[in-house]
Amino acid sequence: MRLVMFGPPGAGKGTQAARLSEHFRVPALSTGDILRAAVAEGSALGKQVKSVMESGALVSDELITDVVIARMNAGDCDRGFLLDGFPRTVGQAEALEGLLSAALDGVVSIEVGEEELLARLRGRASEQGRSDDNEETIRSRLSVYKEQTAPLLPFYESRGLLRSIDGTGTPDEVFALILASLKS
């Protein structure tokens, strides 16, 4: 199973990726988690991306594509993978197509309205203390999503890959909707 998890920040991609990973027994690759781990370690990659991440902007397509290639070559992806947080621009989606020998099985788009997203991201900020979950950065991540990432919707729609899911229910409800959409 080779899936892309798609949606705005706060939609619940990571939560659903973890469940789908267990269900299909394929690894979930979260570019946000990989980059945060690099920043925490203070590696060369971490030093390169720290300030960009804190501003809510995207790191460059070249850099993040190299990170994904390295992760995919780690050896546990031969039965498939779930991508969470990549691709995030049309350039990244084109790079991904070039990397894969066969088409994706689907792109799971989790849809949640803006007010609900803001409430969730503010909640996460106070629970987890993520340094990019402050009010200003939250707003800039949502606008980066609209400008740079939302254009991927028609890109994948035109390839017949898009599965649009109502993301406002409980995690269990959303998970059930995703599984049903993958069967049809």
Where do contacts with ligand ADP occur on this chain (CB under 6 A)?
9, 31-32, 35, 52-53, 56-59, 64, 85-86, 88, 92, 132, 141
Q: Please identify, using beta-carbon distances, which residue of 31 and 106 lies nearer to ligand ADP.
A: 31
Whether the link from the prior residue into 27 is cis, omega within 30° of 0, is: no
Q: Please identify, using beta-carbon distances, which residue of 135 and 180 lies nearer to ligand ADP.
A: 135
The answer to whether the beta carbons of residues 23 and 152 sit under 8 Å apart is: no
- 139 as an active site residue: the answer is no
Q: Which residues contact 145 (CB under 8 A, 6 or more apart)?
A: 8, 9
Cα–Cα distance measured from residue 153 to residue 115, given in angstroms and rounded to the nearest whole number: 21
Cα–Cα distance measured from residue 175 to residue 145, given in angstroms and rounded to the nearest whole number: 23
- 71 as an active site residue: the answer is no
Give the active site residue among 36, 71, 141, 163.
141
Closest residue to ligand ADP, judged by C-beta, is: 32
Exposed e or buried b per residue across 119-130, where buried means at least 16 C-beta atoms within 10 angstroms of its C-beta: ebbeeebeeeee
- 2 as an active site residue: the answer is no
User: How many other CB atoms are found less than 10 A from the CB of residue 25?
Assistant: 10
Give the active site residue among 2, 88, 139, 146.
88
Q: Please identify, using beta-carbon distances, which residue of 21 and 31 lies nearer to ligand ADP.
A: 31
Q: Please identify, using beta-carbon distances, which residue of 69 and 180 lies nearer to ligand ADP.
A: 69
Q: At closest approach, how far in Å is the CB of 88 from ligand ADP?
A: 4
Q: At closest approach, how far in Å is the CB of 15 from ligand ADP?
A: 11
Catalytic residue numbers, as ranges = 13, 88, 124, 130, 141
